[in-house]
Structure 1
Amino acid sequence: MNLVSLSECTPDDVRAIWRLAGAPDVKLDGHVAWSFEGNGIRTRTTFLRAFRDLGLSFIDLPNLLKTAERTCDLAGYLDPFYDIYVVRDSDHARLQEFAAASGRPVVNAMSAEGHPCEVLTDAYFIDTTLMPIERARVCLWGPMTNVFRSWHELSRVLGFSPQHVCDAPFQEADIVIIDSWPSGGETSCRSLTEDDLARMGHPVLLPTPPFSVGRELAFDPVHHARFAGYEQKALLLPVQKAILRHLLGARVRRMALSSGLSGSSAEEKCPV
């Protein structure tokens, strides 16, 4: 199993990850290929902590997918050294190609088309602190972003229907999520105001950092009574550890079922 997009998950996968997020840590024996494009301060912090807490060794492979090599060749040569890949790369299509070629699990630590780990974390927060996610009235405020694409994917997996607006509230909500607007692009969306939140019934406000006061938000969320709080993002750590445990566990189970096979499947998937 890979976690390149949330559309690859089943409801059982999501619930299994969330159960592991609430379970005690275990030590794993494995090697991680780690490639991280850009800053991603919070995601970088929590994944590196997760590797350490789980006893996983990692090797930093800067710009793994920036090479001119075919993804099938990369996977074929690297798979024998690693048990899992955690990759942050803007090129979502190339990340998908690499995951399809590799015989190891691949985690999308953010791409231009999705941010599955962030969204699994925020949905876990809703599910465990507010109400079951399937019953939550989720409002996504702003233009389409990689985070919001992942929210729409998760909603299709779990069977709930978020409202996605960017100029005026039209329904009551239990939680409102914003994301950073794409840079350099025009948008018809306007900044979320406290009056908007009042008209939606005073929902919990969950900004996806980094956010800007005066752009995505017309007010400082830190002083808002229903701000989810900085500590909410601490859940990134247990959820990312759970993702690693779930994917590595699935790989071990798959290997046990096919113990007569060895090596990567990349050879079969590399075009002649």
Structure 2
Amino acid sequence: MSTHTDSTTPMPAPNTKHFLTVDDLTADELHAVLEKAATYKQQLASGESHADLAGKTLAMVFEKPSTRTRVSFETGMTQLGGHAVFLGPDDTQLDRGEPIKDTARALSGYVDVIMARLFDHEDLSELAAYADVPVVNGLTDDAHPCQTLADLQTIQEQFGDLSEVTAAWVGDGNNVAQSFAKGCAMTGIDLTVATPEGYGLSDETLEACADLGDEPTVTHDPAEAVADADVVYTDVWVSMGEEDEREEKVAAFDGFQLNEDLLSGSDTKVMHCLPAHRGEEVDDDTIEGERSLIWQQAENRMHAQKALLTSVVRGF
């Protein structure tokens, strides 16, 4: 994407609620979204209509490939009675040099909400700065807050009161981990993060967690992290765009795979945001076994995002 062509940044449109990071919500708003997500899931299961965004349009701007993000947003918008427009890399003028601010203002005249899945978080921030409609982060290099909403919904379904849950993150301190850590801080989940040295959460994330609630416990020992965990979460070691680091990262993460050896002696549940590199960060038996909450977690992307879209468009 292109960058700013000048230093002028407009004031946000009145009452526009963007969702670029999970802590763009207050704790009360976050809990309200989770409650609404649970309601939508129940309504869908019972065949009850919930066309709360009838006549509304969602623009979906994608720089990165996607399975879950595209299908969950598009299907969810249909269930809400609205319409979604997919805009891939070849469908806009951004790759042909149009400034982000021009695209933001043009889309704002056509649609009611924009979801963007971009490489650079700064590009998303610029899109939001110039849009007059809510902008939702579908994933950037810094954050994946919609995934966190689904994660928290899944944990709540499994364990109930989030403030009574002990969780572990085992793996890379990437964008998913950073958003999850903030979500845990906001909801009172007791989180331990285990990463190899040099792959931990950013200082900014740890400081934000402290401001939001509590910092996670940090360790380099995956066995220590999972010892008392109700649920343990992992993600790929080599993220999209890091393929040239594969050999180095796979070596660094030796011993961090979620498998029965690491989890034996407990009934710890397992989560993964997908797609998974089976045999690297998690083995096949664990994904397919009784510990797995992964498919429930994947489905909940749709329900949580429906709740978020309704909230940012119509208000909390």
TM value normalised by structure 1: 0.84
Q: Which gives a bigger RCO, structure 1 or 2 (Cα 8 Å, sep 6+)? A: 1
Structure 2 match to 1:230: 295
1:80 corresponds in structure 2 to 109
Asked if 1:215 is matched to 2:280, the reply is: yes
Match of 1:26 in 2: 51
* Alpha carbons 1:193, 1:217 under 8 Å: kept: yes
How many Å separate the matches in 2 of 1:236 and 1:26? 18
| Contact 1:125 1:235 (8 Å CA) reproduced | yes
Question: Once the 2 structures are TM-superposed, how far is the Cα of residue 67 of structure 1 from its aligned partner?
Answer: 5.2
Deviations 1:16-44 (A, max 9, x none): 11121122423422122121233321221
1:11 aligned to 2:27? yes
Distance of aligned partners of 1:204 and 1:33 in 2 relative to their CA distance in 1, 3 Å threshold: same
1:243 aligns with 2:297: no
Q: Contact (CA 8 Å) 2:269, 2:293: kept in 1 or not?
A: yes
Q: Structure 2 CA distance, aligned partners of 1:26 and 1:100? A: 29
% same residue: 26
- SS class of match (2:177): helix
Counterparts of 1:168 and 1:30 in 2: how far apart (Å)?
A: 46
Task: Please name the residue that 1:189 is paired with.
Answer: 253
Q: Could you say what secondary structure the match of 1:209 adopts?
A: coil
Deviates more, 1:182-191 or 1:47-56: 182-191
2:194 corresponds to 1:151: no
Cα contact 1:194–1:219 (8 A) shared by 2: no
CA RMSD of aligned residues (A): 2.1
Pairs within 5 Å for 1:1-272: 1-23=17-39, 24=43, 25-28=50-53, 29-63=55-89, 66=95, 68-166=97-195, 167-170=221-224, 171-182=227-238, 183-184=242-243, 185=245, 186-187=248-249, 188-190=252-254, 191-198=257-264, 201-250=266-315
Would the aligned equivalents of 1:206 and 1:228 in 2 still touch at CA under 8 Å?
yes
Q: Tell which deviates more after alignment, 60-69 or 129-138.
A: 60-69
Give the 3 Å change call, closer, same or farther, for CA 147–229 of structure 1 in structure 2. closer
Q: CA deviation at 1:189?
A: 2.0
Task: Tell me the amino acid that sits aligned with residue 145 of structure 2.
Answer: P
| Runs of at least 5 residues in structure 2 that lack an aligned partner in the other structure | 1-16, 44-49, 196-220
- Quote how far apart the aligned CAs of 1:223 are: 4.2
Quote the residue 1:261 is aligned against.
none
User: After superposition, what is the alpha-carbon deviation per residue over 1:102-125, rounded to whole angstroms, capped at 9, x for unaligned?
Assistant: 121111111121111111101111
CA distance 1:70–1:140, shift in 2 (3 Å): same
CA distance in 2, matches of 1:248, 1:106: 10
In structure 1, distance between residues paired with 2:96 and 2:177? 29
Aligned to 1:267: none
**8 Å contact kept, 2:144–2:179:** yes
Structure 2 CA distance, aligned partners of 1:48 and 1:221?
30
Q: Distance in 2 between matches of 1:212 and 1:62?
A: 25
Preserved CA contact (<8 Å) 2:51 2:82: no
Does the Cα contact within 8 Å between 2:230 and 2:268 map onto a contact in 1? yes
Q: Amino acid of the residue matched to residue 214 of structure 1? A: G
Partner of 1:257: none
Count of aligned residue pairs for this structure pair: 250
Q: Is the 8 A contact 1:9 1:157 kept in 2?
A: no
Q: Distance in 2 between matches of 1:99 and 1:10?
A: 18
